Amino acid sequence: MRDERGYWYLLTGFVIGIVLGLVYAWLISPQQYKDTSPASLQPEFKDQYRAMIAAAFVATGNLPRAEARLQLLDDQDVVRTLTEQAQLTLAEGSSPTGTTHPGRRELSAPGPGSRFVGSCSRAGRNLDPHR
């Protein structure tokens, strides 16, 4: 017996296999990343991570913790990277920390001779460390 089907069965099987493989990989059992390092983030997400570190530093004033968090990014020159990001953010006209929370005023770095006074709307208490 001679088979006149050609290569259509082979091509159809290949396409069905690819589709079923993608459905399985994307919907049924997608890859989940756990306990990954911030150094593995894409550059845009590293920028967001640095902004969150800055916001946490402005809120708490904990310099050793901020430095430890920045080291997790494995940047070659941390000062240069932070300076470039701050300049780009300011050129765009947005807040350097990018933190505006509902019920809380925007956090900003204290100027020379000023004191940081924050407010916590949930606890209803003043977070001024100088009082």
- pLDDT tens, residue by residue, 84-102: 999 998 998 876 555 554 4
pLDDT score of 63:
95
Count of structural domains, the chain: 1
11 found inside a domain: no
55 found inside a domain: yes
13-45 residue pLDDT tens: 999 999 999 999 999 999 988 888 999 999 999
Q: Which residues contact 47 (CB under 8 A, 6 or more apart)?
A: 85
pLDDT score of 35:
87
pLDDT score of 107:
45
34-83 residue pLDDT tens: 888 999 999 999 999 999 999 999 999 999 999 999 999 999 999 999 99
Closest C-alpha to 46, from 34, 37, 58, 55:
37
45 found inside a domain: yes
How many Cβ atoms are within 10 Å of 43's Cβ, its own excluded? 6
Domain that holds residue 71: 37-99
